[in-house]
């Protein structure tokens, strides 16, 4: 047992090593770049929306294990969801990593990021791709965690 085991879960390490949907998306309707000026992490999110629902989503960029895994799992989670559903999901996710949410059931796979709440310095890593996602859905081109 290591102290960091609750942060670097196997699933997170796997998504860091083999990120899903980690490529450009030629046909997309929404796009935004996220930047964490504190650590230099960058992530770009591309989305293809159809009928107000996410049909395709991908990400590119470089960051730490937490931000890479978070972006990867995000792309798996938001497919076929509406903007409204995604907004609620982000709120629940944000509450989870900032220790304001005990109800993990709604979060599904995202619940594995619960360990982040013990590492306040890493909250921005976990939420960077989400901020970029929200910016993309709002039609903005870029966002920062500041």
Partner 1 sequence: MSFKNIKKDFPILEQKVNGKNLVYLDSAATTQKPKEVINSLNNYYKETNSNIHRGVHTLSQKATEKYEKARVMIANFIDATSSKEIIFVRGATEAVNLVASSYVKPLLMENDEIIISQMEHHANIVPWQMVCEEKKAKLKIIPIDENGELIINKFNELINKKTKFISLNHVSNSLGTINPIKKIIHIAHQKNIKIMIDGAQAVQHLEISMKDIDADFYCFSGHKMYAPTGIGILYGKKELLEQMPPYQGGGDMIKSVTFEKTTYNDIPNRFEAGTPNISGAIALGKAIEYINKIGISNINKHEEDLLNYATSKLKKINKVKIIGEAKEKAAVISFIIEGIHPHDIGTIMDSHGIAIRAGHHCTQPIMDFYNVPATARASFAIYNTKEDVDELVKAIEKCIKVFA
Binding site for partner 1 (CB under 8 A): 2-4, 7-8, 13, 16-17, 38-42, 62-66, 68, 119, 121-122, 125
Closer residue to partner 1, CB minimum distance, 4 or 141? 4
Closer residue to partner 1, CB minimum distance, 4 or 103? 4
Given a contact cutoff of 8 angstroms between Cβ atoms, the answer to whether 113 and 9 are in contact is: no
Distinct helix (H) and strand (E) counts, the chain = 4, 4
Dist CA 67 CA 15 (whole Å): 10
Closer residue to partner 1, CB minimum distance, 30 or 124? 124
What is the smallest separation between the CB atom of 12 and partner 1, expressed in angstroms?
10
What is the smallest separation between the CB atom of 33 and partner 1, expressed in angstroms?
14
What is the smallest separation between the CB atom of 122 and partner 1, expressed in angstroms?
7
What is the smallest separation between the CB atom of 36 and partner 1, expressed in angstroms?
10
Q: Which tokens hold the place of 29?
A: 């309707």
Residue 48, number of CB atoms within 10 A of its CB: 16
Q: Collapse the DSSP code of 82 into the 3-class scheme (helix H, G, I; strand E, B; otherwise coil) and give the result.
A: strand
What is the smallest separation between the CB atom of 62 and partner 1, expressed in angstroms?
6
Helix axis angle for 65-77 and 123-137, nearest 10°, is 40
Q: Does an H or E element contain 90, and which? A: helix 83-97
Closer residue to partner 1, CB minimum distance, 37 or 52? 37
Closer residue to partner 1, CB minimum distance, 31 or 122? 122
């Amino acid at each position: 047992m290591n102290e960091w085991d609750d942060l670097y879960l196997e699933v997170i390490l796997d998504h860091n090593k083999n990120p899903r949907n980690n490529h450009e998306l030629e046909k997309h309707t929404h796009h935004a770049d996220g930047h964490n000026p504190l650590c230099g992490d960058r992530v770009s999110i591309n989305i293809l929306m159809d009928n107000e629902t996410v049909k395709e989503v991908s990400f590119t960029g470089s960051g730490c294990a937490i931000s890479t895994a978070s972006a990867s799992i995000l792309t798996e989670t938001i497919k076929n969801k509406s903007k409204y559903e995604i907004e609620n999901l982000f709120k629940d996710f944000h509450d989870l990593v900032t220790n304001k949410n005990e109800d993990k059931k709604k979060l599904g796979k995202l619940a594995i990021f619960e360990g982040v709440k013990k590492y306040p310095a890493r909250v921005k890593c976990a939420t960077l791709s989400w901020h970029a996602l929200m910016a993309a859905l709002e039609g903005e081109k870029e966002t920062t965690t500041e």
